[in-house]
């Protein structure tokens, strides 16, 4: 629904208006007014006072703290998947590097990362295996 408010056209979802009319037993004009107040186009003194009271009493803070103290997910331990193919590739690269004059060769992750120095420059090889395409 397009509604003209202060020389400005506003799109109001028809479903929200119908829902407010049905649930709150309002007329269409009252439902539109509620939507405008909820979306801060209009001021509702009663609503503003209630918001002020909740902020003063820290009611919402208490509710959020109660939720935070509830059940917490325990982080599950990550199990490293072994990939013998990647480990063989990393080992082969590590064997070849000294022939190129590389030094300070370090396998940081046996199936993924090698770092080394060559000609006063530091390098890092990160082996990434691409996934198979889904059929």
DSSP string, 44-64: -HHHHHHHHHHHHHTHHHHHH
Q: In this predicted model, which residue has the larger pLDDT, 41 or 75?
A: 75
Instruction: Say whether pLDDT at 54 is over 80.
Output: no
Question: How much is the pTM?
Answer: 0.44
Q: What is the pLDDT of residue 69?
A: 55
Kindly report, residue by residue over 71-129, the tens digit of the pLDDT.
Answer: 667 888 888 888 999 999 999 999 999 998 888 899 998 889 999 999 999 999 999 99
What share of the chain has pLDDT > 70, as a percent?
89
Q: Write the DSSP symbol of residue 40.
A: T
**CA separation for the pair 102, 23 (Å, rounded):** 74
Tell me if residue 91 falls in helix, strand or coil. helix
87 bridge partner residues: none
In the chain, domain spans: 2-63, 84-126
Q: In this predicted model, which residue has the larger pLDDT, 45 or 83?
A: 83
């Amino acid at each position: 629904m397009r509604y003209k408010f202060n020389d400005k056209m506003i799109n109001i979802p028809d479903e929200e208006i119908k829902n407010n009319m049905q649930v709150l037993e309002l007329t269409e004009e009252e439902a539109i007014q509620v939507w405008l107040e909820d979306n801060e186009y209009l001021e509702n003194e009663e609503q503003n006072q209630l918001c002020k009271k909740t902020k003063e009493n820290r009611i919402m803070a208490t509710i959020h703290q109660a939720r935070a103290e509830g059940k917490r997910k325990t982080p599950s331990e990550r199990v490293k998947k072994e990939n013998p193919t990647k480990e063989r590739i990393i080992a082969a690269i590590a064997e070849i590097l000294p022939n190129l004059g590389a030094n300070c060769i370090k396998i940081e992750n046996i199936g993924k990362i090698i770092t080394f120095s060559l000609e006063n420059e530091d390098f890092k090889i990160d082996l990434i295996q691409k996934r198979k395409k889904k059929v």
